[in-house]
Amino acid sequence: MKTTIRKTLGLLTIALAVVSCSKKDDPNPEGTSECWYKVTIDGETTSPNQFGQDKVVITGGVDPDSGIENFIFAIYQEKGGNSQEVALGTTVHGLFNSKSATGIYPAGSFQSGSFSTPRYELYPRYYIGNYNDDHIEHSLTFTLLENSDQRIHMKVSGTVIKEDKVGNEVVEIGPVPIETEIKIDRSHYMETIVEGAIVGGAYCECQEQ
């Protein structure tokens, strides 16, 4: 999982502004530089900074090898003092920028470990698709809910495959429901021109106040 997501991020990364954000009971406080997520996997919900400093990233671009256009949003969840692990990544077919219309976009993949545990563990693993696979709308729905001057609001929901280790074997448990939602203040966003296309991205760290 980590190899796939890191490869994707490497292909799609643009320069991103680094700014702080707030963890609030209200995930949408007016007048603040918000950076918030909610992840529900197999009935367990996790919010920012439960185990350490979390980060949210949106990035996009064109794979120079295949010509495929993708954007991705990823959550880096700090656990056990390690803040460099990608805990969750979702790829979406198409480019994202400030002009992208709200609505449903074709999802490309979803990969995640367990969000609700205080340490990184290889299993259980939740996944579907690969970043350059065909569209997987039958299993996963990505929705751009807001792309305004104030904020970016995205959600992905559907069913994914759960794998877990039972004894010495890795077994497929079956499909489980997931829903991931992020909100990022527009101040965290920047865009640039790549291969003639407008490509946008954002980066933020969630900080308690």
Backbone angles phi, psi at 4, to 5 degrees: -65, -45
Alpha-helical runs (H) found in the chain: 2-12
pTM for the model:
0.80
What is the model's pLDDT at position 136? Answer: 66
Neighbours of 116 (CB within 10 A): 14
What is the model's pLDDT at position 116? Answer: 85
Which SS3 state, helix, strand or coil, does residue 4 take?
A: helix
Contact 77, 28 (CB under 8 A): no
Tens digits of per-residue pLDDT, 158-204? 999 999 999 889 999 989 999 999 999 999 999 888 777 788 899 99
Which SS3 state, helix, strand or coil, does residue 5 take?
A: helix
Contact 178, 43 (CB under 8 A): no
Spatial CA neighbour of 94 closest among 53, 125, 126, 135: 135
Give the integer Cα–Cα distance in Å for 142 and 154.
Answer: 8
What is the model's pLDDT at position 123? Answer: 92
- What phi-psi label fits residue 161: left (phi over 0), alpha (psi between -120 and 50 degrees) or beta? beta
Collect all residues with Cβ–Cβ distance below 8 Å to 172 and sequence separation of at least 6: 161, 162, 163
Q: DSSP of 113-159, one letter per residue?
A: --SSSSS--S-SEEEEE-TTSPP-TTTEEEEEEEESSSEEEEEEEEE
Give the integer Cα–Cα distance in Å for 164 and 122.
Answer: 9
Q: Which residues pair with 200 in a beta bridge?
A: 191
What is the model's pLDDT at position 103? Answer: 96
What is the model's pLDDT at position 68? Answer: 78
Locate 37 and state its tokens: 């997520």
What is the model's pLDDT at position 120? Answer: 86
> Residue ranges of the chain with pLDDT lower than 70?
1-32, 82-84, 130-137, 207-209
Secondary structure letter of residue 121 according to DSSP: -
